[in-house]
Amino acid sequence: MSTQSATPAQLDLFVAVAEAYAERGVLANGDLYNHLSQRFALDPAEAVPIGVAGVKRSVWKRAVRWQQQTLKAMGVLEHVPGERGAWRLAASEGGLSAAPPGIALLGFSTRLGVAVWGDCSTALAGLDQPITLIVSSPPYPIQRARRYGGTADTKSYVDFICRAIAPAIRALAPGGSLCLNVSNDVFEPGRPSRSLYLERLTLAVADRFGMSLMDRLIWHNPSKPPGPIAWASKKRVQLNVAWEPILWFTNDPTRISADNRRVLETHTRKQIALMKSGGESRQASYGDGAYRLRPGAFSTETDGRIPRNLIMRGHACSDTAQYRADATRLNLPVHGAMQPIAIPEFLIRFLTRESDLVVDPFGGTATTAMAAERLGRRWLVVERMLEYLRGGGERFQRCDGFRWGHGVA
């Protein structure tokens, strides 16, 4: 008795088709069908009655042909001139399937959020939901562009970032925040002096969008590799970079949605003992009288201590390890610059309330989305590279309401 094969989800077919052409170059339809039937355990001979006439056709082969035509219209695939039924990838960036401009495809979703494969300028245009937090780690301005992006020209980089975040900023709720984790490891070409791109980016966001700078948070990464190699390790004229800045802006400082009580740290044993004993017993003056310590200070018991604007987190975390394992199992390229989930998790706690909307225009492996999902926030992430989104989506499958995408968002 034959059983009807289950047609793979659209995003899976996109990945499979893109990988097949990337691995083999030119593929005829028959070769593609054989490849996909083995990958998804589909019956090559399957046929069911279609239409009024009841002509038997393969449902999944029709789905593949529809994908081909859709991808052709999107500029992802093209016919090979002079070869009947043969296709190839029209363009790729570093072996990855980049969404063409103007495209926004639903990658996957949960009850709380949506992940979109596409260009953020397109995917976020016309968004009518107020955003409480835009948080992202965009590609860095690096000398040698990597698979996930990057440009060495700082003026072009600033323009690129501003174009990408503009649609989201237009939808930012009053008192909403923008947080950009960018690189501190950027130098002038051929020189040990630092680039001023951070200052240019800060001024551009303020001048072009009327945003106010709330702080430059420091992410101290103890596991950050030594660098810059040329200037610190070889020439010995610089120090190793140990931190990255997180630029925090808001459109209205008087209505900022931040609340540090949501991110209080546990008191030390010494502080707890001091509070329980009635506080300080001594009197002192520091800083030429700018700070005075009086008897009874620190006697009020509080829920925790207010964090400083220094976040100490290493790169390694169980979430990124799970993503790596999923991507490797699916034979997908692994993202080379992942952020630990603790960074967006801290910012989401600090700057949003439950059910607020969090948006990441450079979604990568959907780490921001996972942090928002776990914290009960609504989320929307956009990523241009299909393989990163597909690999990142695996760890959402146990989330409430999870579905792979089946259409254009």
Does pLDDT of 41 surpass 80?
yes
Which pLDDT belongs to residue 151? 61
Does pLDDT of 3 surpass 60?
no
Which pLDDT belongs to residue 349? 98
Question: Strand 131-136 and strand 104-109: pairing?
Answer: unpaired
Name the residue ranges covered by the structural domains of the chain: 10-89, 104-257+311-404, 266-305
- The CATH number of 10-89 is 1.10.10.10
Which pLDDT belongs to residue 1? 35
Does pLDDT of 130 surpass 90?
yes
Q: CA-CA distance, 285 to 266, in Å (whole number)?
A: 27
Nearest to 115 by CA among 9, 249, 233: 9
Burial class (CB in 10 A: 0-12, 13-18, 19+), 5: middle
Question: Strand 48-50 and strand 55-57: pairing?
Answer: antiparallel
User: Which has more confidence, 334 or 78?
Assistant: 334
Q: State the fold for domain 104-257+311-404.
A: Rossmann fold (3.40.50)
Q: CA-CA distance, 329 to 356, in Å (whole number)?
A: 34
Q: Which residues contact 263 (CB under 8 A, 6 or more apart)?
A: 307, 346, 349, 350
- Residue-wise pLDDT for 219-268, tens only, equals 999 988 898 999 999 999 999 999 999 999 999 999 999 999 999 999 98
Confidence of residue 101 (pLDDT cuts 50, 70, 90): confident
Reduced 3-state DSSP string for 64-85: HHHHHHHHHHHCCEEECCCCCC
Does pLDDT of 133 surpass 60?
yes
Of 91-95, 301-305, 347-351, highest mean pLDDT: 347-351
Burial class (CB in 10 A: 0-12, 13-18, 19+), 306: exposed
User: Which has more confidence, 380 or 6?
Assistant: 380
Does pLDDT of 19 surpass 80?
no
Percent of the chain with pLDDT over 90: 52
Which pLDDT belongs to residue 143? 60
Which pLDDT belongs to residue 298? 83
Question: Strand 172-181 and strand 131-136: pairing?
Answer: parallel
Query: What is the identity of the amino acid at 110?
Result: T
Which pLDDT belongs to residue 409? 35
Confidence of residue 92 (pLDDT cuts 50, 70, 90): low
Which pLDDT belongs to residue 4? 46
For residue 230, is it left (φ>0), alpha (ψ between -120 and 50) or beta? alpha
Q: Which residue has the tokens 């509080």?
A: 302
27, 21 contact by CB (below 8 A) = yes
Does pLDDT of 45 surpass 90?
no
- Residue-wise pLDDT for 143-183, tens only, equals 655 554 556 688 899 999 999 999 999 999 999 999 999 99
Does pLDDT of 363 surpass 60?
yes
Please give the C-alpha separations between residue 223 and each of 232, 240, 312, 319, in angstroms, as whole numbers. 17, 12, 10, 16
User: Which has more confidence, 55 or 289?
Assistant: 55
- Residue-wise pLDDT for 314-354, tens only, equals 988 999 999 999 999 988 889 988 899 999 999 999 999 99
Does pLDDT of 195 surpass 60?
yes
129, 355 contact by CB (below 8 A) = no
Of 21-35, 273-287, 321-335, highest mean pLDDT: 321-335
Of 66-70, 77-81, 151-155, highest mean pLDDT: 77-81
Confidence of residue 396 (pLDDT cuts 50, 70, 90): very high
Region 359-385: mean pLDDT is: 97
